Amino acid sequence: MLRRFRKRAFLLFVTLIAGMALVVSGSEASAASPQSGGGLRMAFYAPATLDPHFGSTQPEDNISRLIYDFFVFFDEDYELELGRGLAESYDVDESGAVWTFAVRRGVTFHNGKELTAKDVKFSFDRLRDPDIGSPIAGTLSNITDISTSDDHTVVFTLEDPNPDFLYDLFAYQAKVVDADNENFNTNWNGTGPFVVENYLPEDRLVLSRNPNYWLRDDQGTQLPYLDGVEYLFLADESSQLEALRGGQVQLLMFLPAEFVPELEANPDIDVHRRASNFSYVLRMRSDEGRPAADNRVRQALKLGTDREEMLIGAAGGLGVTGRDTPIGPAFGAYYLDVPELGRDVEKAKALLAEAGYPDGLDITIHTQRDSPVPAMATIWQQQMADIGVNVNVQLVPTEIYYGDMWMEVDFGFTDWGPRPYPQPYLDLAYVTGGDWSETKYSNPRLDELAAQAGKEIDQQKRAELYHEIQRIFIEEGPIIVPFFLDNLYATRSNIGGVRPSAGMSLDLRLFYFED
């Protein structure tokens, strides 16, 4: 009886998701018909790889979205929109474990090859192969088989029912690639809206419009509207700002908060803002032999932190304070809405003394040079001095931090981009042995709750599980989450079709010049 109830509940849940599907329309920002033509230039940080299955940074995700397509697409509100992905439709059986998708017809790769189910199967087999090592191999490990009954049907079989499976197919790396491609680092043959014309690592990437792109707006106009996109790789944020202000570029994808007041006062520039679950997590190695292995140390550092001061001082107040869990208010009912942990300097000192540090503690925090992290580190350094903790701040280039450092150092600031649901944060970083377990935290109770939450179909029960998980983070977790930062973008005022997203990326397929 219970099993039958769960089947019905799962089907109801999937039916509700399917009901969210929309047909892509043109611009929501202007009543006028979008104009085709023109080249967009944007300033961004350089990517480390153009292999879409290995991207882990915002530039890598944004760039790969223009060259490749997602199989399943979720819109700016994280609602399913089949019209913008390569899956035309899907069906799930009563067990919730067998998902059958119809692959969109009439789609071709940049080299003229027709997209088939073989390419979809190859893409997800590659993504889930632990020997290949994509960052989402663990996320997709629940897939036991991918089969194709014909050129336009692909079937995923799961070991366990997964109410978030469609979301998993929209992970940053989950783009569809050419099954016949032999080198994804040099041959960027996607089905996406733009084709690579010229790539100079550390300098620029030039993309031209795909003349055979499959997607059309609701007026029947072929997308993308733009003739091309050029990325200028500028590591210095001030240089990015100057390029936008001077009109050399028309878009900044990741806008530092300190630039907002000036840009909002500029009539030639529009600032776009959207609440999100984006955060810079102060993570503490909590395995044996580290200072933060003792929960009294972790709690002392939390009690010494003034989150509101960090939000205002480092991000201009453009976000909401955190509760030291990876689940923020953007997740609605999943969020545990409790008061912010108040700062208590004396209690923090007492806990440090109990932990064996009556004369204070010396620590080194390694972090990125990119805004707002240096300001966050400086503010936290000053706050920690009040509780007797001497913080040595080591700023390094972002590529160095994520190259050899972030999984090893005792303390660091790591940015975590938005996800459409909380489970990936837990599975990747906080369950024992997660692929991105930068804190080396291990809590059997949290592992158990996370496993239950990942399979729970009843949304109220799932919310209760996430609430208990958040209580564990608050009481003994290995992270401090000072705030969740709003997504901030800036464009020249003649750019239309901008849809600010709860995720980090914008859909440049819909961008156009208004004059």
- Domains belonging to the chain, first-starting first, are 2-34+48-189 (3.90.76.10), 275-486 (3.10.105.10)
Per-residue model confidence (pLDDT) at position 361: 95
Residue 155 has pLDDT above 50, yes or no: yes
Residue 26 has pLDDT above 80, yes or no: no
Treating both helix axes as pointing N-terminal to C-terminal, what angle do 295-303 and 459-476 enclose, rounded to 10 degrees? 90
**Torsion-angle region of 176 (φ positive above 0: left; ψ -120 to 50: alpha; else: beta):** beta
Specify whether the CB–CB gap between 474 and 327 falls below 8 A.
Answer: no
Closest CA to 326 of 137, 484, 136: 484
- % of the chain residues with pLDDT over 90: 79
Q: For 36-62, what is the mean pLDDT?
A: 92
Residue 20 has pLDDT above 50, yes or no: no
Long-range contacts formed by 334-340: CB under 8 A, 24+ apart: 334/421, 334/422, 334/462, 334/463, 334/466, 334/467, 335/466, 335/470, 336/466, 336/467, 336/470, 336/471, 336/474, 338/474, 340/307, 340/308
Residue 173 has pLDDT above 80, yes or no: yes
pLDDT in tens, 418-470: 888 899 899 989 999 998 999 999 999 999 999 999 888 888 999 999 999 99
Per-residue model confidence (pLDDT) at position 435: 85
Residue 7 has pLDDT above 80, yes or no: no
pLDDT in tens, 252-302: 988 888 899 999 999 999 999 999 999 999 999 999 999 999 999 999 999
446 versus 171: which is more confidently predicted? Answer: 446
Single-letter residue type at 133? G
Residue 472 has pLDDT above 50, yes or no: yes
pLDDT in tens, 362-375: 999 999 888 899 99
Distance CA 105, CA 283 (A): 46
Per-residue model confidence (pLDDT) at position 355: 97
Per-residue model confidence (pLDDT) at position 380: 98
Per-residue model confidence (pLDDT) at position 10: 37
pLDDT in tens, 99-114: 999 999 999 999 999 9
Distance CA 368, CA 373 (A): 6
Query: What average pLDDT does the structure give for the chain?
Result: 91
Residue 498 has pLDDT above 90, yes or no: yes
Q: What distances in angstroms separate CA 512 from CA 69, 144, 213, 348, one per listed residue?
A: 20, 42, 16, 54
pLDDT in tens, 209-223: 999 999 999 999 999
Per-residue model confidence (pLDDT) at position 32: 61
Per-residue model confidence (pLDDT) at position 13: 38
Per-residue model confidence (pLDDT) at position 95: 87
Residue 482 has pLDDT above 60, yes or no: yes
